[in-house]
Chains A and B, each alone.
Chain A
Amino acid sequence: MYRQACRRLLLRPSARAAAAARPFSTDLPSAPSQDTTFVEAWKKVAPNIEPPKTPLSYLKPRPQTPTSIPSKLTVNFVLPYQAELDSKEVDMVIVPATTGQMGVLPGHVSTIAELKPGILSVHDGNDVTKYFVSSGFAFVHANSVTDIVAVEAVPIDRIDPNLVQKGLAEFTQKLSSATSDLERAEAQIGVDVHSALNAAITG
């Protein structure tokens, strides 16, 4: 819905000059899979030898932004030590952005969202998989591919409620007794993370 509104705004005459100068990211053709200027320059210098392959030719080219909204969302959910979801086709993901829980459906406007500690839920038909994410970013692209990166993410059933309560009490106490800015910030982070963990196991 938002994508169409943006497109209409851009087509107003006053914006047309700006639009013509730089293509809107939703209207890009597919990315090139070969660097044509390099290949041509090579052929001029060494016409009989095959040009060497550049990293660009090994990459899967970015597909053209589909003209109609796709029916499924492609999610890549990665952690530093493993890829939780790799190009999985789902119906919806709800990400815990700093601005609140954000639901991403196919055709969502391109967004970069910073995540706060909270629950990420992946909905595929009637299956819902929930993870607790420590913090990270979510990138929604125009072609309905969503990349979610986090430092640490665990399924909710791996969280120990007793440790959460203990940590919450400990950090609330540290917050009230903190002296320097840095100590206060660290205690505040502790309180935020433990309250989010608490809400995740009880909610």
Chain B
Amino acid sequence: MASAVGSSAAVPFWRAAGMTYITYSNICASLVRSCLKEPCKAEAASREKVHFAISKWANGKPEKPIVVKLYVMA
């Protein structure tokens, strides 16, 4: 992620800090869910659990076996 800045393209602040878009948009979504009124908030709680895998690539191959991140917002 840090190497992306080397290409002089303007990157958003979250990518410059090492975050991927999926992480960013899931954080935004869970923040919005935490600001909902009561009945909707309880239904939204079931959507909080997110599970995705991130793998870094080098030379056209994945660097090591996929790093699985279980990303469950509190």
**Which A residues fall within an 8 A CB radius of B?**
80-81, 117, 132, 134-136, 151-152, 154, 158-160, 163-164, 167, 181-182, 184-186, 188-190, 193-194, 197
Contact = CB atoms under 8 A, between A and B. Distances in A.
Contact of B32 (A81, A154, A182, A186): A154
Interface residues of B, number: 23
Given A151-B25, A185-B14, 20 more contacts: A81-B47, A134-B28, A134-B31, A134-B32, A135-B24, A152-B29, A152-B32, A152-B44, A160-B35, A163-B36, A167-B31, A167-B34, A181-B17, A182-B18, A184-B17, A185-B17, A185-B18, A189-B14, A189-B24, A193-B28
B35 A167 contact: yes
Contacts, number: 74
Secondary structure class of chain B's binding surface, majority of residues: helix
A151 B29 CA distance: 6
A158 to B, nearest CB: 5
B45 interface: no
A151 B26 contact: yes
A190 B26 CA distance: 12
Nearest to A189: B27
Contacts of B16: 181, 185
8 closest A-B pairs by beta carbon, nearest first, are A185-B17, A152-B29, A151-B29, A181-B17, A134-B28, A134-B32, A134-B29, A135-B25
B27 A117 contact: no
24 contacts: A117-B28, A134-B25, A134-B28, A134-B31, A134-B32, A135-B29, A151-B25, A151-B26, A154-B36, A159-B37, A160-B36, A160-B37, A163-B34, A163-B35, A181-B16, A181-B17, A184-B17, A185-B13, A188-B13, A189-B14, A189-B24, A189-B27, A189-B28, A193-B31
